[in-house]
Amino acid sequence: MVAKNATNSAAPKTKVDPLHFKYPRDVHNKFKFGAHVGMAGGISNSVTNAMDIGANSFALFLKSPRKWASPDIKDDEVAKFKQLCVQYGYDPLKDILPHGSYLINMGNPDAEKEEKAYGSFVDDLKRCERLGIGLYNFHPGSSLGSDHRQSLVRLAKNINNAIKETKFVKIVLENMAGKGNLIGNDLQDIRDVIDLVEDKSRVGVCVDTCHTFAAGYDISNVETFEAFWAKFDQIIGWQYLSAIHLNDSKAPLAANLDLHQKLGHGFLGLEVFRIIANYDKFQGVPIILETPVGDDDGVYGEEIKLLEWLQGKKQLDPEFIEKLKELAKLGEKERDEHLKKFEVKKEKTVKRKGKDVTTMVSKKVKVEAKNGEEEAESKSKVKLVKKEE
Ligand SMILES: [Zn+2]
Ligand SMILES: [Zn+2]
């Protein structure tokens, strides 16, 4: 028999005044629903920002994600961050998953740029360890048109060196939405890198729902969702799953575009989030929202409450169906716009492919366009970040 007053070990050690925060936090929930929160005014503010939206886990940037150099975190901020984590019951080893800089590309074929990326990467990892944080998520990078396999080898070599330079932080590779040169669109890329990592206890994977869908893995219903995770287990292995990024997708399936959308508004729809909120294998894993909220973090508070509401809901529950329709309606206009863009792009690609076979010159243009495309993509990501901060 279970004692009536048994408490969850994740519960805050001190009593939290519920009136102090905007959204009440469900500390007894076995699922760690959370979001990417801001750290303006000092890194310790991220902890109270997480409390404000009722998050059981959170992500943050450790420095500006679009600058190479950033001043060190001050000692008093480190102390304050740790103290607030204790006060509010966040375990930095398991509940906090910082997001790395978008500039880091350790698969870069240019040795000088690779070294610069490595420096920023290790600096991030050391920041984690100073703060007592046990997980660090980053984008695996791009081969930039060079030999893809060699890029994976380069990335793994840098991960191995970074592990030797640090003590405990787990390096978590995020799957990507794009195609071609980007590393991590294909689950096999991630497996290949893990294979080359010497200390496998220090490496993990973060699955982003938007990236997964945009990369061409349909996860929008129970059958396809199960099929994806069976594939994940077969190629990578459950033991490496370290986090989930929770986003709907503004772009359709296999559009290869990294465009996050609010839950239920996009092409994924609310059903996948109902599945996730009830998927026991995700218990204890940080499940981080990165949906576009502009300056209003309150949206995250609402989305966490939505996820909690989805727990225990059945697919045919009339209340659930009503909610699914309501949110889908809110995103209808944006879905239509992106579907049109996607179709125009597809048509252009077909036409371009037809022309390309004619001359060698056009082949060169294609390669240049591809590289340009990637640059444009990373620029649009920076824009998203700007909004988030
Ligand atoms: Zn990311
Ligand atoms: Zn993500």
Label residue 389 by pLDDT band (50, 70, 90): very low
How many Cβ atoms are within 10 Å of 15's Cβ, its own excluded?
7
| CA 100 – ligand 2 centroid, Å | 11
pLDDT at 320 exceeding the cut of 50 = yes
* 157 pLDDT more than 60: yes
Q: Residue 309 and residue 237: Cα distance in Å, rounded? A: 30
Query: Count of residues for the chain?
Result: 389
CA of 27 to the centre of ligand 1 (A): 26
Cα 247 to middle of ligand 1, angstroms: 11
Q: Give the ligand whose atoms come closest to the C-alpha of residue 100.
A: 1
Residue 123 has pLDDT above 80, yes or no: yes
Q: Of the ligands numbered here, which is closest to the C-alpha atom of 173?
A: 1
Q: Which ligand is nearest to the CA of 214?
A: 2
> Tens of pLDDT along 217-258?
999 999 999 999 999 999 999 999 999 999 999 999 999 999
Res 190 pLDDT > 90 = yes
Q: What is the pLDDT of residue 4?
A: 35
**388 has a pLDDT exceeding 90:** no
- Quote the ligand 1 centre to 13 CA distance (angstroms): 31
pLDDT, greater one: 46 or 386:
46
Q: Starting from the CA of residue 209, give the closest ligand.
A: 2
Q: Residues 66-89: pLDDT tens digits?
A: 888 889 999 999 999 999 999 999
Residues with catalytic annotation?
66, 99, 102, 139, 174, 208, 211, 245, 258, 260, 290
Q: Which of 36-40, 45-49, 199-203, 379-383 has the lowest average pLDDT?
A: 379-383
Distance, CA 279 to ligand 1 centroid (Å)? Answer: 22
- Domain ranges in the chain are 18-388
Residue 170 has pLDDT above 80, yes or no: yes
Buried b (16+ CB within 10 A) or exposed e, 68-107: eebeebeeebbebbbebbeebbbbbebbbbbbbbbbbbbb
The domain 18-388 is placed in CATH, from the list 3.20.20.150, 3.40.50.720, 3.30.540.10, 3.40.50.970, at: 3.20.20.150
Neighbours of ion ligand 2 (CB under 5 A): 208, 245
The phi and psi torsions of 319 (rounded to 5 degrees) equal -65, -40
Share of the chain above pLDDT 90, in %: 79
Lowest mean pLDDT among 13-17, 86-90, 299-303: 13-17
Question: Ligand 2 center to residue 138 CA distance, Å?
Answer: 9
Q: How high is the pLDDT of residue 342?
A: 92
Confidence category of residue 352, pLDDT binned at 50, 70, 90 = confident
Least confident stretch, 15-29, 120-134, 316-330: 15-29
- 377 CA → ligand 2 middle, Å: 14
Q: Mean pLDDT score of the chain, rounded to an integer? A: 88
Q: How far apart are the first and last CA of the chain?
A: 48
